[in-house]
């Protein structure tokens, strides 16, 4: 027997699903065979909500061509988070696998990345395992469900579109379309692999995105759905279901929440939305995220992350002499040639707060260029002592190394987190000096937790930075980006100016929080995005 494989299923067939209309059979399938697998309803049979039956299942399955095939080949559902769209998608995928009268049906779950695609599939797999009838006729694997009696299968696929040519799909379940960055290549490959099927279906679910350009697959589908629904475009093969609030609507009004969230009160708790709305009002940079993910509004993306009014609450002076001998952690961000390099030290206290000391270097020529070209006051910051001008026109790593040696004699620097890029030579020297440099990845896995912790500390006024102007400038420049799992990280490509000192601070906080045990972003559930 192959690893991860169950014994052959028993020779058994599923009971018939009776109903006057196709949608009746789909709804019976949900009620009789599917159970919730997550949250407070786990283990309970699924009773599709009224809006699901009315707006998705009935039109999708009852609207037929003259030869009794489904009319709709694409169903696009755009709705805020927490309205059970993954559960809906998993259930429809399973119905198509077992009861759609399609021998040798091939069904896939796809998304911008394999982990996201697995979310819907994993729900479907657990539904199968919890039902005595479905589990009898199915071979269950970690990433595939196989029905030997019909030769049908349902599997997860990765996002690389080039490897999907030649597929003969009956259905594609595509999750979080807003996160797709390939210009629709995966979508096109999957939908083109359905030409020989009798009544294929592309079922797409997503929340609103932010990229309102022709290059955005999600925006193109959103606009197509809107125009089909208002009669501007005639596309009888496309069913668009969009729940959301108007951009001009008052996003703080609970009545607007109810209009945008048909699952409010069941799958989505009003208390949760109240909590998230309070956070958006307290941290304006979160407003766009609240409106996009919880009201399904297409907001702009490139907005400053941290409002300066919140940041300036941490501006009381920090006395470097008072920090002598205290434990601290560093974050080191090095530039390639002519721009900023930064070391930021953070000193944790017993109350969960941090004192912050930034150290910034820039080649003297870079200071002149920046001051003249960009009107950033590099020359003023250098004269005031907030930035060190190193000799020459490129980064002077020897000067940075010497400064770090001096700081190590003054403070108890336990670790220095560093970005691997462009740091190999200096890191080798620091190791020889007895420092403890720790490589710190710049992707979501490494940066998301510290970034959320940083935001929380700013919001609670627990980050004491003394108003350092270069750090303030970098924080004000910082724009974040987010993946499909709600992980965040500072985005150098979307931020319009330098953010190096802010990145160094976040890396330092990441190491400090890790050593302190359970961190603010792990223990305060109300603040987890």
Q: What are phi and psi of 322, to 5 degrees?
A: -70, -15
CA distances from 337 to 116, 362, 388, 394 (A): 38, 9, 15, 5
Mean pLDDT of 311-323: 90
208-212, 235-239, 449-453, 522-526, range with the lowest pLDDT: 522-526
Share of the chain residues as helix, strand and coil, in percent rounded to the nearest 5: 40, 15, 40
On whether residue 74 sits in a domain, the answer given is yes
**220 shares its domain with 272:** no
On whether residue 195 sits in a domain, the answer given is yes
Closest CA to 16 of 129, 133, 113, 106: 133
Gap between the terminal Cα atoms of the chain: 42
Identify the helix (H) or strand (E) that includes residue 426.
helix 424-432
Q: What are phi and psi of 357, to 5 degrees?
A: -125, 110
Q: Say whether pLDDT at 446 is over 60.
A: yes
The per-residue pLDDT for 271 is 95
pLDDT tens for each residue of 166-181 = 678 999 999 999 888 7
Q: What percent of the chain has pLDDT over 70?
A: 89
| Sign, Cα dihedral of 518, 521, 523, 528 | negative
The per-residue pLDDT for 421 is 79
- Of 202, 222, 242, the position where a domain reaches its end is 242
The per-residue pLDDT for 372 is 66
On whether residue 138 sits in a domain, the answer given is yes
Question: What is the rounded distance in angstroms from the CA atom of residue 312 to the CA atom of residue 519?
Answer: 23
CATH code for the domain in which residue 419 is found: 3.30.420.240
State the chain's mean pLDDT as an integer: 87
**264 shares its domain with 350:** no
The per-residue pLDDT for 164 is 61
On whether residue 341 sits in a domain, the answer given is yes
On whether residue 303 sits in a domain, the answer given is no
In three-state form (DSSP H/G/I as H, E/B as E, the rest C), the secondary structure along 147-173 is: ECCCCEEEEECCCCHHHHCCCCCCEEE
**208 shares its domain with 273:** no
On whether residue 12 sits in a domain, the answer given is no
DSSP 105: -
CATH code for the domain in which residue 28 is found: 3.40.50.300
On whether residue 490 sits in a domain, the answer given is yes
- Of 242, 264, 287, the position where a domain reaches its end is 242
| Sign, Cα dihedral of 42, 44, 49, 55 | positive
Which pLDDT band holds residue 525 (cuts at 50, 70, 90)?
Answer: very low
219-233, 267-281, 304-318, 514-528, range with the lowest pLDDT: 514-528
Report the relative pairing of strands 171-175 and 201-206 from DSSP bridges.
parallel
**43 shares its domain with 192:** yes
Question: What is the rounded distance in angstroms from the CA atom of residue 12 to the CA atom of residue 22?
Answer: 23
238-247, 302-311, 470-479, range with the lowest pLDDT: 302-311
The per-residue pLDDT for 134 is 96
Long-range contacts of 24-29 (CB under 8 A, 24+ apart): 25/61, 25/99, 26/57, 26/61, 26/92, 26/95, 26/99, 27/53, 27/57, 29/91, 29/94, 29/95, 29/98, 29/99
* Inter-residue contact 69 to 189 (CB < 8 Å): no
Closest CA to 240 of 284, 214, 205, 270: 205
CA distances from 352 to 212, 296, 453, 460, 503 (A): 41, 35, 11, 10, 20
**490 shares its domain with 401:** yes
Q: Say whether pLDDT at 11 is over 80.
A: no
On whether residue 180 sits in a domain, the answer given is yes
Residue with tokens 């300036």: 312
**131 shares its domain with 199:** yes
The per-residue pLDDT for 339 is 79
The per-residue pLDDT for 114 is 81
The per-residue pLDDT for 8 is 54
DSSP 18: -
Domain count, the chain: 3
Closest CA to 320 of 411, 381, 384, 406: 411
Question: What is the rounded distance in angstroms from the CA atom of residue 194 to the CA atom of residue 173?
Answer: 13
DSSP 195: T
**455 shares its domain with 322:** yes
Give the bridge partners for 109, in sequence order.
156, 173
The per-residue pLDDT for 163 is 60
**266 shares its domain with 179:** no
Mean pLDDT of 334-353: 88
Q: Whole domain around residue 352: which residue ranges?
A: 308-527
**141 shares its domain with 221:** yes
**64 shares its domain with 181:** yes
The structure's pTM equals 0.61
Quick one: residue 467, left, alpha or beta (phi over 0 = left, psi -120 to 50 = alpha)? left
Q: What percent of the chain has pLDDT over 90?
A: 62
Q: Say whether pLDDT at 84 is over 70.
A: yes
Q: Say whether pLDDT at 54 is over 80.
A: yes
Mean pLDDT of 369-390: 83
Long-range contacts of 213-221 (CB under 8 A, 24+ apart): 215/183, 216/178, 217/177, 217/180, 217/182, 217/183, 217/184, 217/187, 218/177, 218/178, 218/180, 219/298, 220/184, 221/76, 221/78, 221/177
**186 shares its domain with 267:** no
The per-residue pLDDT for 480 is 86
**170 shares its domain with 56:** yes
Report the relative pairing of strands 388-390 and 354-363 from DSSP bridges.
parallel
Which pLDDT band holds residue 303 (cuts at 50, 70, 90)?
Answer: low
CA distances from 508 to 234, 437, 440, 475 (A): 56, 11, 10, 15
Q: Say whether pLDDT at 522 is over 80.
A: no
């Amino acid at each position: 027997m192959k690893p991860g494989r169950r014994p052959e299923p028993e020779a058994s067939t599923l009971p018939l699903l009776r109903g006057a209309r196709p949608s009746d059979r789909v709804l019976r399938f949900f009620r009789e065979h599917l159970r919730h697998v997550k949250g407070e309803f786990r283990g309970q049979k699924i009773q599709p909500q009224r809006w699901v039956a009315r707006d998705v299942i009935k039109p999708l399955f009852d609207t037929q061509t003259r030869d009794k095939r489904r009319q709709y080949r694409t169903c696009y559902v755009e709705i805020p988070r927490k309205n059970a769209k993954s559960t809906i998608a998993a259930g429809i995928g399973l119905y198509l696998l077992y009861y759609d009268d399609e021998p040798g049906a091939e069904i896939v779950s796809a998304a911008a990345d394999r982990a996201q695609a697995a979310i819907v599939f994993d729900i479907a797999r657990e539904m199968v395992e919890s039902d005595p009838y479905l589990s009898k006729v199915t071979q269950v694997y970690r990433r595939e469900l196989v029905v030997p009696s019909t030769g049908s299968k349902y599997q997860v696929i990765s996002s690389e579109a080039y490897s999907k040519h030649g597929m003969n799909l009956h259905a594609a379940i595509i999750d979080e379309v807003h996160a797709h960055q390939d210009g629709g290549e995966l979508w096109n490959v999957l939908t083109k692999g359905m030409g020989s099927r009798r009544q294929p279906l592309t079922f797409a679910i997503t929340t609103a995105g932010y990229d309102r350009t022709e290059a955005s697959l999600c925006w193109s589908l959103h606009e197509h759905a809107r125009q089909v629904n208002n009669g501007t475009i005639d596309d009888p093969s496309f069913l668009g279901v969009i729940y959301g609030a108007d951009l001009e609507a008052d996003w703080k009004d609970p009545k607007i929440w109810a209009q945008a969230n048909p699952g409010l009160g069941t799958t989505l708790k009003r208390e949760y939305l109240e909590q998230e709305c309070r956070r958006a009002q307290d941290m304006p940079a979160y407003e766009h995220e609240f409106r996009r993910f919880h009201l399904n509004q297409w907001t702009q993306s490139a907005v400053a992350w941290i409002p300066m009014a919140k940041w300036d609450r941490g501006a009381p002076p920090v006395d470097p002499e008072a920090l002598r001998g205290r434990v601290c952690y560093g974050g080191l961000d090095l530039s390639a040639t002519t721009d900023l390099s930064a070391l930021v030290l953070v000193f944790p206290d017993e109350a969960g707060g941090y004192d912050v000391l930034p150290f910034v270097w820039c080649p003297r020529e870079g200071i002149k260029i920046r001051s003249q070209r960009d009107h950033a006051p590099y020359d003023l910051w250098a004269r005031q002592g907030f930035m060190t001008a190193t000799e020459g026109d490129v980064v002077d790593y020897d000067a940075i190394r010497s400064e770090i040696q001096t700081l190590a004699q003054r403070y108890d620097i336990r670790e220095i987190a560093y970005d691997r890029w462009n740091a190999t030579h200096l890191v080798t020297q620091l190791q020889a000096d007895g420092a403890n440099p720790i490589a710190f990845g710049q992707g979501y896995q490494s940066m998301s937790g510290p970034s959320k912790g940083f935001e929380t500390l700013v919001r609670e006024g627990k980050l004491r930075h003394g108003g350092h102007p270069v750090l303030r400038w970098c924080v004000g420049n910082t724009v974040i980006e987010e993946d499909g799992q709600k992980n965040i990280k500072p985005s150098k490509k979307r931020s319009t100016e330098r953010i190096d000192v802010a990145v160094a601070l976040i890396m330092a906080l990441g190491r400090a929080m890790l050593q302190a045990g359970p961190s603010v972003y792990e223990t305060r559930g109300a603040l987890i995005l």
